[in-house]
A and B are shown apart, each in its own frame.
Chain A
Amino acid sequence: MVTLDEFTKNIEIELDDLESGTLTSDINYRDLEQWSSMYALIIIAYVDSEYNVTLTGDDLRSCNTVRDLYLLIKSRV
C-alpha cells in the first residue's frame, strides 16, 4: 500500500473542488467547509476500486481523519 502522504494526496484528488493542500492526514475532514455526504460516497468508491476494500457506513462514521481511514484500510488489505 502507498504511504499515508500519497494516500492523502490521492483522496484529495478524488474529492473535486478541494484546493491542493487543503486535506491533511490529521485534520477532521468533516470540519472542512466543503465537506459533503457525496464525499463519503466518493471515498467508498475510490477505496473499493483501488484497494478492493468495501467500507461500510459504520467504518466511515468511526473515522475522523485520513490517517484513521488509512490505518483501517491497511488492516484489511
Chain B
Amino acid sequence: MALFTVNNVKIVGFSATVPKYEESNWDYDALSASEQKLLIKTTGIEKRRIAQNGTTTSDLCFHSAKELILKLGWKPQEIELLIFVSQSPDYYLPATSIILQDRLNLPKTTIAFDINLGCSGFIYGLSVISSLISTTKIKKALLFSGDVSSFSVNKNDKSTYPLFGDAATVTALEYDIKGDTLFFNLQSDGSGYEAIIIPDGGLRNPLNDESFVEYQVEKGIRRSRRNLKLEGMDIFNFSLREVAPNINDLLEYANEDKANYNYFVMHQANKLMNESIRKKLNIDKEKVPYSIDKYGNTSSASIPLTIVSELRSQLNKGTNKLILSGFGVGLSWASALITTKNLICTEVLEYE
C-alpha cells in the first residue's frame, strides 16, 4: 500500500481563482423546474463559474499565482519547483508547467512538469511536490491544480453539464526542517477507467470527423465523443466503497486520532455522496466544509478552493490539523493528513 510520510515541508499558503462569469442550475433549461430542484438538493450544486473567451486553466493559475506570490512576499527568482496538475492543459505538448515557469519569471533552474489527474490530483500533486522538496531541499515551490472542465462537457448533457465548474488553485510550500510531517495514502483502480472519460482525442481514439457528431444517449443526454462522459452510479458506488477505508488506513498508519483533526476537506463531488462518506467516518458536520453550492465540482481545484473559500479566516491564525481526500476519475483516490500554521490565503479571486 502506498502509505508514506514526508518530513521537512511546510505548506505556507493557498490561492484560488475562478472565472467571473457565473451560471445557476436554477436557469439550466435542459431540466424541468422539479428536476432542477431535485438536482440541487441531491448534488448540492447551485452555481458554477464558467471560463469565457478561451480562458485556459493556466490563465487562471497565472492570475492566482501572481497574487499569492505578492501576498507571501516571495521573489520569483527564489522559486525552483513548479508542478501543474490538470486534465485541461494548454497544448497537447509541451507541458503547461513549463510555459508557466516562463510566464511567472521563475529561473531556468526550476523543475517544472505536469501531472495528469483530476479529482484525486491535488493530493497526488501535494505528495509529489512535498516529496521532491524534502529530497532536493528546494526552498520554495508552487503546486498548481485545476481544470476548465466546461470545455469538455456538452450543454445538452444533463448528466454532466450542471455538475462541473471551472477553477484553478495555487499551493505554496517551503523546505523547513521544523516543518510538520505530512502523511499520504494514494490508490488507483484502472478497471474503472471508463466511468469518467473523454473517449476521443488521444492516441487510442484520435480525433476524427465522427468525434464531433452529437448523439442522443437518452432524454436530456446528448453529447459527442470529444465530450466528457460520466457514469454517476458507478462513481457513487466506488466512492462509498473506497474513500472511508482509505482514510481509516491512513489514520491507523499515522497513529493519529481523527478526533484531533479540526477539519475534513473532501473533493467536492456531490453533496449526497460526500455526506454519506462523512457519516461512514463519523465526523461532525461542523468539521466538513462545502463550497460545492457556489462552484460545483471543480476537479483537482476543489480541495484548495474549499480551503480558500470556507476556511480562510480559520486557518490564518494558529495551528490546524486537516484530513484531505480526493477521489474520482481514473479511478484514482488519495488522502492526506496535514498541519497548517498561520496560513496565508488570498480570497477567492475572480478572472475576467
Residues of chain A having any CB pair with chain B under 8 Å? 16-17, 34, 36-38, 40-42, 44-45, 48-49, 54-57, 60-61
Contact = CB atoms under 8 A, between A and B. Distances in A.
Q: Main secondary structure on chain A at its contact with chain B?
A: helix
B233 A40 contact: yes
12 contacts: A38-B39, A41-B236, A44-B236, A45-B236, A48-B240, A48-B276, A49-B279, A57-B232, A57-B234, A57-B237, A60-B233, A61-B233
Contact of A16 (B38, B232, B236, B276): B38
A17 B34 contact: yes
Contacts, number: 55
Contacts of A41: 42, 232-233, 236, 270, 272-273
A4 B97 CA distance: 57
A17 B241 contact: no
Contacts of A42: 42, 272
A26 B272 CA distance: 27
Contacts of B233: 37, 40-41, 44, 55-57, 60-61
A55 B34 contact: no
Interface of B: 34-35, 38-39, 41-43, 159, 231-234, 236-237, 240-241, 270, 272-273, 276, 279
A34 to B, nearest CB: 7
B236 A36 contact: no
A60 to B, nearest CB: 6
A44 B38 contact: no
Contacts of A37: 159, 232-233
A45 B273 contact: yes
Contacts of A54: 237, 240-241
A44 B231 contact: no
A39 B26 CA distance: 19
A49 to B, nearest CB: 6
Nearest to B42: A38
Contacts of B237: 44, 54-57
A63 B168 CA distance: 40
A45 B240 contact: yes
A45 B41 CA distance: 14
Contacts of B272: 41-42, 45
A17 to B, nearest CB: 6
